[in-house]
A and B are shown apart, each in its own frame.
Chain A
Amino acid sequence: MALIARNISVRFGSVQILRNVDFTAEAGSFSAIIGPNGSGKTTLLRAIIGEIPYEGRVSINGQDTRDANSVLLAKQRAVLAQSTQLAFPFTVFEVVRLGLTAGVATGDPSKTAELPFKALARVGLEGFEGRFYAELSGGEKQRVQLARVLAQIWLPVLNGQPRWLFLDEPVSSLDIGHQLMVMEIAADYAKAGGGVVAVMHDLNLTAMFAQNVMLLADGHCLASGAPGEVLTNTTLSTAYGCSLAIKTAPTDGAPWLLPQAAQLTQHRTPS
């Protein structure tokens, strides 16, 4: 079971953002889409999840998603945006409960009632249920949104079908501890059989958690494969236009990237 996107092209007015991009993600693995600003990575995600018009084919679990029933889609996949507005003074619990809008296929109503609480506990916000969403910090808000998304697709695999988690730069507003927490949640979801597709800025986190990476630049794919294959010096410096030193992380052997700022070396001279 996979997410298969073929020949995705997106145009805004006269500007071609994406040109015939192919993307595949397997269930049970964490796939990351990386690239410099303006490369089209968020556009690709938005096309895959059907937020913007696109040319090409997208299928999830073997079914074409174009014109698919929105409720059925909602039962299969959930999306965590980069940031979310909230129009009215809902409580944290009420926001997380919104994840259950499309209905939950557990069949057991008492289990459904527990889901918001479970989801909040999962993101480390136990006890926050009665707080007002508007009063939370940016990082807390993002975690509440993640809880909502998790409540929507709590079981990574349902009736033999994997469910999909789409994340658009999910850790931008979080401190380092919570960045790891969120990435671990996503990774666990994938390990349990779900599919995870994330647009990532942070290359080190990508290297740490993703099994499959696609590098976009100028609206087309520059490289794709395992992190070690994609995150190489030449590939990355071409795409990002800066030089990077690539070490190996001592803990797990994953690539470890250090940006090399040209001016910085001058200041480092020990006094």
Chain B
Amino acid sequence: MASTTFIPAHSGTVRQQGDRRARSRMLTLCLAALLVTAMLLSLGWGAASDTDVIGALLSADGVSVRDSTIVWDIRLPRVLTGVLVGAALAVSGAIMQGLFRNPLADPGLVGVSAGAGFGAVVAIVLGGSAPLWFQAMTGYYLVPLAAFFGGWITTLLLYSVATRNGRTSVATMLLAGIALAALTGALTGILVYYATDDELRDLTFWGLGSVAGANWQKFWSAAPLIIICLFAAPFLARSLNALALGEAAAGHLGIPVQRMKRIAILTVACSVGAAVAVTGGIGFVGIVVPHLLRLVQGPDHKGLLINSALLGGVMLLLADAISRTVIAPAEMPIGIITAIIGGPFFLWILMRNRSLVDL
């Protein structure tokens, strides 16, 4: 007869117990504190190092217009945008990795990055030929809007290709995504041919990503969507955990798998779409952040999603701080910095996990 004794839930070390949730909760507190610190430091950091930040924040007398503009119109929207974009990219990365059951999955697999990029190309190259009333109406939001809709269209396309009889096959989505990337690449090539020199430069810079263009209008247009997605994401945690056993087993555990996949894809498309629309293409955050966290707190999505959001925000602020100051008074596009850090890190993950990476 098997023993009926049990180990009380709160004794023993985490290692013995196997329950890493307490560690995960601690990490959440630490990351939240780190994020707040990073935000405050970012406000005080920038090319114009002599800015009277505190005075500007308190709207004290004697604060110059320049300092006030720097703090309120340049740094503050930039910091807030950076946090939201970093959080969106990191959480979406974690969700994608859970959905595809692979630690190397990336938000781009859902098609949103390819579509957003293509939307941006269309807007940059053909924007000048649009009817004047249209140009006047959209102003310099033409590119972000086009990127956002582009991301949506490709996600919907991939989703419908991969879904039959209500069942969405993530493997099909992956393969169709490759085909789609080839197609958008070709169409982009055609547009690039017709582009002027200036448009080509703009395209290149868009692709490298930057938080520099973040102003209040852009922030307010992207923020609600991203915030909703960030709040919705943790509800996917339970489902993503169960999904690690495979879709069949997850179904038997009570997860409505197809509905959950739809919600996951929707969340990723919205948050990444909004993020990419505002900042252009920023890579590696979606892979590096969740992976780092898994090393510390384990793959349990209950803590992973929230912590990814927090650490993603911190990372983006860090990268942005570097981009703002390394070649001041000029700026280095943030995508370059995330790639410089993320690329070697990604290789390191691959080498460390050779056995786990079996497609």
Tell me, yes or no, whether A binds B.
yes
Separation in Å of the B110 CB from the closest CB of chain A?
A: 18
Q: A70-B255, A130-B15, A131-B18 are in contact. Are A118 and B244 (CB under 8 A)?
A: no
Interface residues of B, dominant DSSP = loop
B1-37 contacts to A, CB under 8 A, are: 2-7, 9, 13-20
Q: Is the CB of A101 within 8 A of B3?
A: no
Let me know if A129 and B17 touch, CB within 8 A: yes
Contact between A90 and B298 (Cβ–Cβ < 8 Å)? yes
In the complex, which residues 52-98 of chain A have their Cβ closer than 8 Å to any Cβ of chain B?
A: 70-71, 73-75, 77-79, 81, 84-95, 97-98
A164 to chain B, nearest CB (A): 11
Given contacts A101-B238, A126-B3, A129-B18, contact A86 B255 (CB under 8 A): no
**Which residues of chain B from 57 to 80 have any CB-CB distance to chain A below 8 Å in the complex?**
none
Interface residues of A in 17-59 (CB under 8 A from B): 49-51
Residue A178 lies at the interface, judged by CB distance under 8 Å to chain B: no
Chain B residue nearest in CB terms to A53: B165
| A121:B6 contact, CB within 8 angstroms | yes
Looking at the complex, which one of B4, B246, B254, B356 makes contact with A118 (CB distance below 8 Å)? B4
A74 closest partner in B (C-beta): B254
A70 touches B256 (CB 8 A): yes
Decide: A130 near B254, CB < 8 A? Known: A85-B245, A94-B300, A118-B4.
no
Most buried by A among B2, B16, B253, B300: B253
Among B103, B243, B244, B255, contact of A90 (Cβ-Cβ < 8 Å): B244
B248 within 8 A of A: yes
Residue among B6, B241, B299 having the largest count of chain A Cβ atoms under 10 Å: B6
State whether B2 touches A78 (Cβ < 8 A).
no
Cβ contact within 8 Å between B17 and A84 = no
Query: 1/0 per position for B83-97, CB-CB distance to A under 8 A?
Result: 000000000000000
Is there an interface contact between A84 and B249, defined as CB atoms closer than 8 Å?
A: yes
**Closest residue to A112 on the B side, CB-wise?**
B9
- Taking CB as reference atom, which chain B residue is nearest A131? B18
Q: Does A229 contact B (CB under 8 A)?
A: no
Residues of chain A within 8 A of B252, CB atoms compared = 49, 74, 77-79
Q: Which residues from B are CB-within-8-Å of A85?
A: 101, 245-246
Given contacts A74-B254, A79-B249, A87-B244, whether A94 and B101 have CB atoms under 8 Å apart is: no
Residue of A nearest to B18 (CB): A93
The answer on a CB contact under 8 Å between A87 and B102 is: yes
A-facing residues in B227-267 (Cβ within 8 Å): 238, 241-246, 248-249, 251-256
Contact of A113 among B9, B15, B20 (CB under 8 A): B9
CB pair A152 B253 closer than 8 Å: yes
* Interface size in chain A (residues, C-beta < 8 A): 45
Interchain CA distance A94-B237 in the complex, whole Å = 13
Is the beta-carbon distance between A98 and B17 smaller than 8 angstroms? no
- Select which of B6, B18, B246 is within 8 A of A114 by beta carbon: B6
Give the distance in Å from the alpha carbon of A185 to the alpha carbon of B102 in the complex. 34
* A189: interface (CB < 8 Å): no
Q: How far is the CB of A140 from chain B (nearest CB, A)?
A: 14
Which residue in chain B gives the minimum CB-CB distance to A110? B9
Given contacts A89-B294, A90-B299, contact A117 B7 (CB under 8 A): yes
Q: Closest Cβ of chain B: how far from A72's Cβ, in Å? A: 8
Interface residue? A227 (CB, 8 A): no
> Are A89's CB and B241's CB within 8 A?
no
Q: Which residues of B contact A130 (CB under 8 A)?
A: 13-18
Choose among A73, A81, A88, A122 the residue that contacts B249 (Cβ–Cβ < 8 A).
A81
A131 to B18, CA, bound (A): 7
- Please give the distance in Å from B235's CB to the nearest CB on chain A: 13
Contact A129 B300 (CB under 8 A): no
Task: List 5 tightest A-B contacts by C-beta distance, closest first.
Answer: A93-B18, A74-B254, A102-B254, A88-B299, A91-B18
Interface residues of chain A, those whose CB is within 8 Å of chain B, are 49-51, 70-71, 73-75, 77-79, 81, 84-95, 97-99, 101-103, 110, 113-114, 117-118, 121-124, 126, 129-131, 152, 185
Q: A51-B251, A93-B19 are in contact. List 5 more A-B contacts (CB 8 A).
A: A101-B238, A102-B254, A126-B3, A130-B15, A185-B2
15 contacts between A and B (CB under 8 A): A70-B251, A81-B248, A85-B245, A86-B244, A87-B244, A90-B299, A93-B17, A101-B238, A114-B9, A118-B6, A121-B5, A122-B2, A129-B16, A131-B18, A185-B2
Q: B interface vs A, CB < 8 Å?
A: 2-7, 9, 13-20, 101-103, 238, 241-246, 248-249, 251-256, 294, 298-300, 356
